[in-house]
Amino acid sequence: MKALLVVAHGSRRAESNDEIRQLTACLERQAEGAFGDVRCAFLELAEPSIPDGLREAIRAGAGEVVVLPYFLSAGRHVVKDIPAEVDSVRREHPDVSISLAPYLGASEGMIGLLLQQAQSD
């Protein structure tokens, strides 16, 4: 089974973390069989952590996990911190294929989305 783990920064504001959880619930409804398990994790300030989120997906039966950084720029978190957390679980579970998708800001569809958003009123 293939799982998707959306990784957000995490915030002191509970509403911001809940926004990520709601987004993840929408993603799960729209994943239409592409991912059998969709969940979120946070780099800091909220639960679950990235390693815990990965472990939950694996416990749910994932043999493959795609980690998607919900970040807009390629800062230290995207370049170093998230890969390091992912690596720690890769070592624990060498039988599971864990891949890192490009961070959201690098998406080819971002320009189209921004233009759509700018014309949404």
Q: Which residues carry out catalysis?
A: 9
Would the CA dihedral through 48, 54, 59, 65 be positive or negative? positive
Under the criterion CB under 8 A, does residue 11 sit at the interface with a second copy? yes
Task: Tell me the window of 18-26, 47-55, 56-64, 88-96 that interacts with a second copy (CB under 8 A).
Answer: 18-26
Q: Which amino acid is at 18?
A: D
Task: Tell me the window of 16-24, 45-53, 54-62, 83-91 that interacts with a second copy (CB under 8 A).
Answer: 16-24
- The DSSP secondary-structure symbol of 78 reads I
What separation in angstroms does the CA of 14 have from each of 7, 18, 79? 16, 6, 26
What separation in angstroms does the CA of 30 have from each of 10, 80, 89, 95, 105? 23, 30, 27, 28, 21
Alpha carbon distance 7, 108 (integer Å): 19
Under the criterion CB under 8 A, does residue 42 sit at the interface with a second copy? no
Per CB under 8 A, which of residues 43..72 are in contact with a second copy? 66, 68, 70, 72
If the CB atoms of residues 4 and 82 are measured against a second copy, the closer one turns out to be 4
Under the criterion CB under 8 A, does residue 113 sit at the interface with a second copy? yes
CB 114 within 8 A of CB 108: no
Q: Residues in the site for a second copy, rule: CB under 8 A?
A: 4, 6, 8, 11, 13, 15-16, 19-20, 23, 26-27, 30-31, 34-35, 66, 68, 70, 72-75, 99, 101-102, 104-105, 107-121
